[in-house]
């Protein structure tokens, strides 16, 4: 049985989309949090903003120095791929190829940032096409990405989405099927507790179905939908931690407080969530 502490808490930086990366680091420091899930989008870091690998790596080195000077580290890299110009399931092979190539760059970036974890989700297939066609294309694309990841020593961590976000991977059953069909040791699982509750599923379902694959927990409150400040919804957040500890989970619980209602003041949303966690998690 593991002991989950504040050292297992990470923060996804997408919440700070309207603020600079320096502001985000300052906010993390004020919250006494050390682990970063770096969202790969502007204004923080997006590979598309750099014309060459050398230019991208110079920027990464600059950012990494700032991160490490504050005693922090990046534990996950989350490139923004939920919508165009990327898609795993597009009927257009050029778009799927672009997505694969972008993940190749994302893996390079992750390793340069000091992490071997790259995040993904299934995206959404076109709703006027048969789901199974989109599913098959997504499996093919994700398989190619995972083949490259396996050679680079990178883990691809995939989450389930809510039905309004995707017609592909939204349930534990879908997750089991994706893992089976991709069939790669590089493919790991993130359980998003909000998406899980929306579908009426339980954390135990994932531990029964994919016990050795769970690499990350997207942790937020809800009712059950939404990605709210911890304590502002009605999800059994302490119970999740108990289940994780019972199953000897040693990974990160990732604060994905990703709702536009908090974008004006992301610091308060993370500070209040961290304060909530400190009511029942030890510092170490």
Confidence at residue 83, expressed as pLDDT on a 0 to 100 scale: 84
Q: Where are the domains of the chain?
A: 6-277
Question: pTM here?
Answer: 0.97
Q: Does 259 have pLDDT greater than 90?
A: no
Confidence at residue 9, expressed as pLDDT on a 0 to 100 scale: 98
pLDDT tens figures, 92-150:
999 999 999 999 999 999 999 999 999 999 999 999 999 999 999 999 999 999 999 99
Task: Report the alpha-carbon distance of residue 89 to residue 96 in Å, rounded.
Answer: 7
**Cβ 257 vs Cβ 269: under 8 Å:** yes
| The domain defined by 6-277 carries CATH number 3.40.50.1000 | no
Confidence at residue 82, expressed as pLDDT on a 0 to 100 scale: 86
**Cβ 247 vs Cβ 240: under 8 Å:** no
Q: Does 258 have pLDDT greater than 90?
A: no
pLDDT tens figures, 49-78:
999 999 999 999 999 999 999 999 999 999
**Distances in Å between the alpha carbon of 141 and those of 92, 127, 145?**
12, 19, 6
């Amino acid at each position: 049985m593991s002991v989950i502490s504040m050292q297992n808490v990470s923060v996804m930086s997408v919440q700070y989309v309207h603020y600079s990366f320096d502001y985000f680091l300052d906010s993390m420091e004020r919250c006494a949090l050390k682990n970063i899930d770096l969202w790969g989008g502007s204004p923080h870091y997006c590979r598309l903003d750099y014309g060459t690998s050398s230019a991208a790596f110079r920027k990464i080195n600059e950012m990494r120095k700032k991160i490490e000077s504050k005693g922090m580290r990046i534990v996950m890299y989350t490139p923004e791929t939920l919508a165009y110009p990327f898609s795993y399931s597009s009927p257009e092979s050029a778009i799927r190829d672009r997505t694969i190539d972008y993940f190749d760059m994302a893996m390079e970036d992750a390793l340069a940032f000091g992490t071997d974890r790259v995040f993904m989700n299934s995206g959404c297939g076109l709703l006027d096409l048969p789901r199974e066609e989109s599913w098959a294309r997504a499996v093919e694309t994700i398989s190619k990405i995972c083949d490259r990841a396996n050679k680079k020593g990178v883990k691809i961590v995939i989450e389930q989405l809510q039905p309004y976000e995707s017609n592909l991977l939204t349930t534990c059953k879908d997750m089991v099927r994706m893992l089976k069909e991709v069939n790669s040791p590089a493919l790991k699982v993130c359980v998003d507790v909000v998406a899980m509750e929306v579908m009426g599923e339980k954390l135990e379902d994932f531990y029964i179905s994919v016990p050795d694959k769970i690499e990350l927990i997207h942790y937020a409150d809800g009712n059950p939908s939404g990605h709210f400040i911890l304590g502002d919804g009605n999800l059994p957040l302490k119970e999740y931690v108990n289940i994780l500890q019972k199953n000897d989970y040693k990974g990160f619980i990732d604060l994905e407080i990703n709702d536009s209602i908090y974008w004006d003041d992301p610091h308060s949303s993370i500070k209040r969530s961290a304060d909530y966690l400190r009511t029942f998690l030890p510092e170490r």
